[in-house]
């Protein structure tokens, strides 16, 4: 069963799935909701809430799910999945690198955080430690100068002065900077950690993002490698040193 929840924010869709999914669930509920949402917005941020009683989907539902995904492949701007089911969490994370947009998985107790993540429209930088000395920075939306301040604080908290830094930059959802101040903050961040950087992986979805690799190789001593949006897993392996360049 698929239920569409009312969302007041344009460009957002929230749905809940439970029980056994059928082709009719897609044809009668989800597909019309998506078409309606895309009729008023070029891109869509989607929250999918998976209840604990989800038992599977029939062949028709699988086909409809595939068709919907391909039909609106470039229209999805961000996807948040809320679930406590282990197989669903593993499946979403495995599929996430293939998606053309940022994907995050949340537990049911964190549903408010999932909604907040979808609403972040002005831009933000999410930072997380992948391993000692290895950080991931995910740039989303139009980033302001304050976002770089928070990112620098995260880097300082996890990487000690003088320690070699490996960095995974996920810019698939990055739309640029909010003015000259943000661009200046970006350059200051780069220069502040240029001496520590040993390996930098950039995962992007646009030609202009690919240029970051060329610039990085010219101005940084670090190894810099660009990966297309569907190569996130390879980028992660490379920056961690588990995959050869």
CATH number at residue 103: 3.30.750.24
Per-residue model confidence as pLDDT tens digits over 173-185 = 888 886 777 889 8
Per-residue model confidence as pLDDT tens digits over 76-85 = 878 899 999 9
Mean pLDDT on 199-208? 90
- pLDDT band (50, 70, 90) for residue 73: low
- Residue pair 212/160 in contact (Cβ under 8 Å)? The answer is no
**What percent of the chain shows pLDDT beyond 90?**
25
115 and 9 in a common domain: yes
Determine, yes or no, domain membership for 216. yes
pLDDT at 181: 79
232 and 217 in a common domain: yes
6 and 68 in a common domain: yes
> Tokens 């086909």 correspond to what residue?
63
Task: Look at the chain and report how many structural domains it folds into.
Answer: 2
**Which residues 6+ apart lie within 8 Å of 68 measured at CB?**
26, 30, 31, 34
Question: Using alpha carbons only, how large is the chain's radius of gyration in Å?
Answer: 19
**Which residues 6+ apart lie within 8 Å of 38 measured at CB?**
44, 72, 75
Q: 119, 144, 171: which is the final residue of a domain? A: 119
96 and 29 in a common domain: yes
Range of the domain at 206: 124-240
């Amino acid at each position: 069963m698929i239920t569409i929840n009312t969302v007041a924010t344009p460009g957002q869709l929230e749905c809940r799935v439970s029980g056994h999914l059928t082709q009719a669930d897609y044809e009668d509920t989800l597909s019309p909701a998506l078409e309606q949402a895309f009729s008023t917005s070029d891109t869509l941020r989607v929250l999918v809430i998976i209840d604990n009683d989800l038992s599977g989907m029939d062949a028709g539902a699988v086909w409809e799910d595939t068709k919907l995904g391909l039909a609106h492949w470039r229209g999805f701007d961000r996807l948040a999945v809320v679930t406590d089911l282990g197989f669903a969490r593993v499946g979403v994370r495995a599929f996430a690198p293939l998606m053309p947009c940022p994907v995050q998985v949340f537990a049911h107790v964190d549903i408010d955080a999932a909604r907040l993540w979808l609403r972040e429209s002005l831009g933000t930088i999410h930072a997380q430690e992948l391993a000692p000395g290895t950080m991931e920075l995910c740039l989303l939306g139009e980033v302001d100068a304050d976002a770089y301040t928070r990112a620098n604080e995260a880097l300082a908290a996890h990487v000690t002065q003088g320690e070699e830094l490996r960095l995974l930059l996920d810019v698939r959802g990055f739309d640029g900077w909010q003015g000259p101040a943000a661009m200046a903050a970006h350059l200051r961040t780069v220069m502040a950690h240029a001496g520590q950087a040993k390996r930098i992986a950039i995962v992007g979805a646009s030609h202009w993002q690919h240029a970051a690799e060329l610039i990085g190789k010219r101005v940084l001593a670090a190894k810099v490698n660009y990966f297309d949006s569907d190569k996130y897993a390879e980028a992660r392996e490379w920056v961690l040193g588990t995959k050869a360049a």
